[in-house]
């Protein structure tokens, strides 16, 4: 399954930089391939939204959501960001992952 990963703008990380860092860093690059892709349900010209969307693909069969969740959290911790990672259920969305900044151990309001 491919996951669309959506970053809160307050993380100050654009999708292209995430993809480059993820794909060049062990062990993350062995878990999934990050790539840029037009976001689902958006206008091709909506560049501001596209800056915060990446895809994680080529995820090995059997890799649990817990393992992927931990990898994304660890990736951001290595960058100095404490994040909240939320998987959106496929029945309610397209299988997205939403990453927002944590403040005092809590999720950002309205994210």
Give the pLDDT confidence score for residue 108 in this predicted structure: 47
Residue spans of the domains in the chain: they are 3-107
What lies within 8 Å, CB to CB, of 78 at 6+ separation is 25
Give the pLDDT confidence score for residue 26 in this predicted structure: 93
3-class DSSP assignment, residue 85:
strand
Give the pLDDT confidence of 58-98 residue by residue, as tens digits: 988 888 888 999 999 999 999 888 889 988 766 555 668 88
Do 98 and 111 contact (CB within 8 A), yes or no? Answer: yes
pTM for the predicted model, two decimal places: 0.76
**Secondary structure letter of residue 53 according to DSSP:** E
Q: Are strands 3-7 and 96-103 parallel, antiparallel or unpaired?
A: parallel
Give the pLDDT confidence score for residue 41 in this predicted structure: 53
Which ranges of the chain does DSSP label H, i.e. alpha helix? 15-23, 28-31, 47-50, 65-78
Q: Are strands 83-87 and 106-107 parallel, antiparallel or unpaired?
A: unpaired
Give the pLDDT confidence of 4-45 residue by residue, as tens digits: 888 888 888 888 899 999 999 999 999 999 998 765 555 545
């Amino acid at each position: 399954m491919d996951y669309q990963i959506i970053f809160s703008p307050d993380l100050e990380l654009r999708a292209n930089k995430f993809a480059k860092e993820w794909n060049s860093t062990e062990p993350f690059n062995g878990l999934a391939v990050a790539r840029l892709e037009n976001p689902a349900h958006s206008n091709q010209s909506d560049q501001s939204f596209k800056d915060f969307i990446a895809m994680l693909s080529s995820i090995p069969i059997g890799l649990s959501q817990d393992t992927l969740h931990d990898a994304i959290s660890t990736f951001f911790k290595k960058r100095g960001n404490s994040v909240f990672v939320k998987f959106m259920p496929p029945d309610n969305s397209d299988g997205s992952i939403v990453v927002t900044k944590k403040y005092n151990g809590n999720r950002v309001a309205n994210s």
